[in-house]
Amino acid sequence: MNNQKKTILSGIQPSGRLHLGNYFGAIHQHLDFQHKGDAFYFIANYHSLTSLQDGEKLRQYTYEVALDYLALGMDPNKCTFFAQSDVPQVLELTWILGTLTPVSLMEKGVSYKDKVAQGMQPNIGLFTYPVLQAADILIYHSDIVPVGADQKQNIEISRDLAARFNYTYKGDYLRIPEPHIVESVATVPGVDGRKMSKSYDNTIDIFDKGKALKKKVMSIKTNSTPMEDPKDPDACNVFALIRLFASKDKVEEIADKYNKGGYGYGHAKKELLALIQDYFGEAHERRQELSGNPDMVWDMLRDGGRKARERAESVMADIRDVTGIVKNHTTRI
């Protein structure tokens, strides 16, 4: 049993272009984990409908997220990469889990409350978002779910719903997943110093380049300490980003320059710009090459979808059986 490969699963919403927060909070881990088990990664396009209601854009971002992951080093021969919507069984399980979900559990959703506080419409999709996420996870018998720290509660809810299902139907039908969170990655700040997020319009995107990238880096908010004066690196947004890209020695060297003075924020921004360009240089080239072959990207998603559906259907068949849901037509595989 111990030698059996663990199932690793995670998803990412295609609600916009991927940014440095997404990369260091989630994508970096996904890439790491693809070598460590049987990994399933998907583009959570149904989830995106809770915030993006523009068909053309959703299709475009779905494609771009796939392209971005490939360019960043995801290997479709090592893991199964697919679109959530290619596994209709997930929606079937969402309904069944919904019948076991207390309204009070959803009302405690931190992410739901935050989004409503930011002005989003409190629709049913947004409210039950964690149930769809639980179905995403449970339908593959996932063991490990690598996510950013803000997803902790959603994984807790998935665990809770799996346990409720098993208790109600008296058996170990659904596996209880474990989250995997890299606690050392703090929240990545955006150019305005708040959490980097698509909804704050403060992102530096992974595939920003040239003048656009430079403009964003140069616009990072700093305080007005004069160039000659010593500065506290730990209170600086530019330094927080430098930390993510630079080697340990380089981080120390730059921290020294901050502490000594005679080193301005403009200098730090230039160093950061060079670090970002260097870090993502290869990925930019690969993306450029891959973008000449969109069919390859769609084919990869289709193949991944087929594999994911096979796994999902085998779990769903047992779920239908134990819940007494009769299904007389064969589900597409």
Interaction between residue 276 and ligand TRP (CB under 6 A): no
Pick between residue 95 and residue 200 the one whose CB is nearest to ligand ADP: 200
Q: How far is the CB of 146 from ligand TRP (least distance, A)?
A: 8
Task: Indicate the residue whose CB is closest to ligand TRP.
Answer: 11
Q: Pick left, alpha or beta for residue 201 (phi over 0 → left; psi -120 to 50 → alpha; otherwise beta).
A: left
Pick between residue 118 and residue 293 the one whose CB is nearest to ligand ADP: 118
Pick between residue 26 and residue 132 the one whose CB is nearest to ligand ADP: 26
Pick from 44, 74, 246, 301 the residue near ligand TRP by CB under 6 A. 44
Write down the catalytic residue from 6, 57, 195, 221: 195
Identity of the amino acid at 40:
F
Q: How far is the CB of 226 from ligand ADP (least distance, A)?
A: 30
Return the one option of ligand TRP, ligand ADP, none that residue 137 interacts with (CB less than 5 to 8 A, by type).
ligand TRP
Question: Residue 54 burial (CB < 10 Å; 0-12/13-18/19+)?
Answer: exposed
Q: What angle do CA 327, 332, 333 make, to 5 degrees?
A: 120
Pick between residue 106 and residue 319 the one whose CB is nearest to ligand ADP: 106
- Packing angle between helix 110-117 and helix 152-168, nearest 10 degrees? 130
Residues near ligand ADP (CB under 6 A): 12-13, 21-22, 24-26, 147-148, 150-151, 187-188, 195-199
Q: Say whether 269 is catalytic.
A: no
Q: Which stretch binds ligand TRP (CB under 6 A): 62-70, 143-151, 209-217, 265-273?
A: 143-151
Pick from 19, 30, 47, 287 the residue near ligand TRP by CB under 6 A. 47
Return the one option of ligand ADP, ligand TRP, none that residue 304 interacts with (CB less than 5 to 8 A, by type).
none
Interaction between residue 94 and ligand TRP (CB under 6 A): no
Q: Say whether 115 is catalytic.
A: yes
Q: Which of 162, 47, 180 is nearest to 115 (CA)?
A: 47
Q: What residues between 4 and 23 interact with ligand TRP by CB under 6 A?
A: 9-13
Please tell me the count of residues contacting ligand TRP according to CB under 6 A: 14
Interaction between residue 133 and ligand TRP (CB under 6 A): yes
Return the one option of ligand TRP, ligand ADP, none that residue 11 interacts with (CB less than 5 to 8 A, by type).
ligand TRP
Interaction between residue 145 and ligand TRP (CB under 6 A): yes
129 neighbors 50 (Cβ within 8 angstroms)? yes
Q: How far is the CB of 40 from ligand TRP (least distance, A)?
A: 9
Question: CA quadruple 197, 198, 201, 207: dihedral positive or negative?
Answer: positive
Pick between residue 100 and residue 189 the one whose CB is nearest to ligand ADP: 189
Question: Residue 177 burial (CB < 10 Å; 0-12/13-18/19+)?
Answer: buried
Residue positions annotated with a catalytic role:
115, 195, 198
